[in-house]
Amino acid sequence: MTHEVCLKKQALVEKLGVAIEKKDQLAPVAARILSYIILTGKAGTTFEDLVEKLCASKSTISTHLNHLSDLKKVVYFTKPGDRKKYYIINQDNICLSIDAMVETWSSQKELHQEIREYKQEANKTRDEASKFELDFHNDYIEFLEEAMQSVLKLKSKITEKNNKL
């Protein structure tokens, strides 16, 4: 890997780490570990690589790596004749994240459908000037439906690919 690519990876580890830290409510080092593993890919990364590249102590890396393993965000594999563990992202975790996203969006969609129905009913008793505007709810419900279909399609592709492996 060239020096330029290494520098870009380091910057992305930090940027992605901040995003993961907020999204998954992880400790900063755990988020950086996860982002480093994501950016390393299917070749995997070792404990020693993480200690060196993230400039953290062995105990800190070990604690957070075990936590990520407990959360099933990362898994490891070994290579014949090599005693090291190679950590990679858990592909099942991506599908679980999609499921959680769809569940959240589905709840939001149901709530907006209820609100829209209430406003439609209320509009029957209001004069034209005080009627509720329904375009936002209609557009948002449509958006949520399209977003759910899109991520479910992605999940289907991931699942299909994983089943071929």
Query: For residue range 24-82, what is the model confidence (pLDDT) as tens digits?
Result: 899 999 999 999 999 999 899 999 999 999 999 999 999 999 999 999 999 999 999 99
Angle of helix 47-54 relative to helix 58-70, nearest 10 degrees, comes to 120
Q: How much is the pTM?
A: 0.73
* CATH assignment at residue 53: 1.10.10.10
Query: At which of 55, 89, 123 does a domain end?
Result: 89
Pair 11, 57 in one domain: yes
Pair 11, 79 in one domain: yes
Q: How many structural domains does the chain have? A: 2
Burial of 71 (0-12, 13-18, 19+ CB in 10 A): middle
Pair 115, 82 in one domain: no
- CA-CA distance, 85 to 104, in Å (whole number)? 35
Pair 53, 79 in one domain: yes
Pair 73, 140 in one domain: no
Pair 99, 141 in one domain: yes
Angle of helix 58-70 relative to helix 28-40, nearest 10 degrees, comes to 80
Query: At which of 69, 89, 109 does a domain end?
Result: 89
The domain in which residue 55 lies consists of: 3-89
Residue 159: pLDDT band (50, 70, 90) is confident
CA distances from 140 to 56, 132, 135 (A): 44, 15, 8
pLDDT at 164 over 90: no
Pair 105, 149 in one domain: yes
| Number of residues that make up the chain | 165
- CA-CA distance, 8 to 10, in Å (whole number)? 5
Helix (H) or strand (E) holding 89: strand 85-89
